Amino acid sequence: MLAGAPLAAHAHGQEVLAMAYAQVAVVAVCLLLAWWVPPLRGARWWAVLGCAAGVMVAWGRVLDLPRQSHAAEIMAWLVLAPLLGAAGAVAWARIRRGRDGR
């Protein structure tokens, strides 16, 4: 699908392809940040789970939007949901770790 071949026959194929690439780029950024930024290393698996949850929420929200929905709104959901999910999961893990005294 990411190569664009199956989407070539559809009228909105290029839009869907751009959204898929944006989603892949955001997930890659989440993973890179979780693995290489020292403060995030302790909660990297929470960041990955939060990012995955954000991806699911984003696609669920995008598929529920009306067909005439604005492209910027769709792209905002696809880009921000994984980042917010990862940030929320890392914050939750740090708060939890602070309460446990670790």
Q: Total structural domains in the chain?
A: 1
CA-only gyration radius of the chain, Å: 16
**How many CB atoms are closer than 10 A to CB 87?**
17
The answer to the question of residue 33 being in a domain is yes
61 assigned to some structural domain: yes
Would you state the pLDDT for residue 102?
A: 54
Chunked mean pLDDT (size 10), the chain, 102 residues: 44 66 83 78 80 81 66 77 83 76 56
How high is the pLDDT of residue 3?
46
Q: The tokens 């989603």 sit on which residue?
A: 23
pTM greater than 0.75: no
> Does any domain span residue 35?
yes
83 within a domain of the structure (yes/no): yes
Q: Given this model, what pLDDT does residue 6 score?
A: 46
